A = this chain, B = another copy of it.
Amino acid sequence: MTEKEAYADLGATTQEAMDIAETSMDIVRTFVPDETLNDRLRQKAVHSTGDIEFQHLIRCQNNPVVAGARAVLDEQPIVTDITMAKAGITGRGHDCPVQKAIGNGAELAAETGMTRTAASVLELDKQGVYEGAIAVVGNAPTGALALADCIEDGTRPAAIVATPVGFVKAEESRKRIREVADEYDIPAVTNVGKRGGSGLAAALTNELIHVASDARDGEVDLTAHE
């Protein structure tokens, strides 16, 4: 596998898949700048949504690519909100434990009536799971809001990927993530608008893993981007 092929897509292993992934990223780079490490998140967002305009909806705070890649190299946990985002995280190029929040906190959800995702985030945070982790919220606005609460209460994830989708609370939840990221200097990648979702969140997280692989291979010097 050549370096270029390896870059194209960690998920592509056969010749045809690598050809498709390479051609696809070439097209993406025709439309999205390739100047900063954060541009790789914009490229990946375009790649995963199939929409060249999506690049303009991505917001990066506190150098999320460097922080995320370092967390990957340190084998910190990747914690997603729901099963679907977890399923989208590549198994290649990292040794991070990957876990999902949903499934935890069932009692809290039943007692309070809050969403299962919010309860699961609060429950995992109580166990210290988010400290130093890559916190990924792809689907659930209330999961992102709960994560913001945890950060206000002192939790410090290594990086946040938050792209909840939809018409109710999704934008608000990402705005709140940006506020706490700003206030407590947490590296974060989010999007604006009502779009988003687990596929986008997984793709952005996979790009952090990809940059970590490139750093490990000496193709990217993370210190040069700090």
Contact = CB atoms under 8 A, between A and B. Distances in A.
Interface of A: 12-17, 20, 23-24, 27-28, 47-51, 83-84, 86-88, 109-110, 113-119, 141-142, 165-170, 193-199, 202
Contact of A195 (B50, B168, B196, B202): B50
A215 B103 CA distance: 29
Contacts of A199: 84, 165, 197-199
A165 B84 contact: no
| Chain multiplicity (copies) | 2
10 contacts: A14-B115, A16-B113, A20-B169, A24-B167, A27-B167, A47-B167, A50-B170, A51-B194, A84-B84, A87-B87
A141 B195 contact: no
A110 B15 CA distance: 9
A110 B113 CA distance: 50
A199 B87 CA distance: 11
Contacts of A142: 16-17, 20
Contact of A14 (B88, B113, B170, B193): B113
The 10 lowest CB-CB distance pairs between A and B, nearest first, are: A15-B113, A50-B194, A87-B87, A17-B115, A50-B195, A27-B167, A50-B165, A84-B87, A83-B87, A24-B168
A49 to B, nearest CB: 6
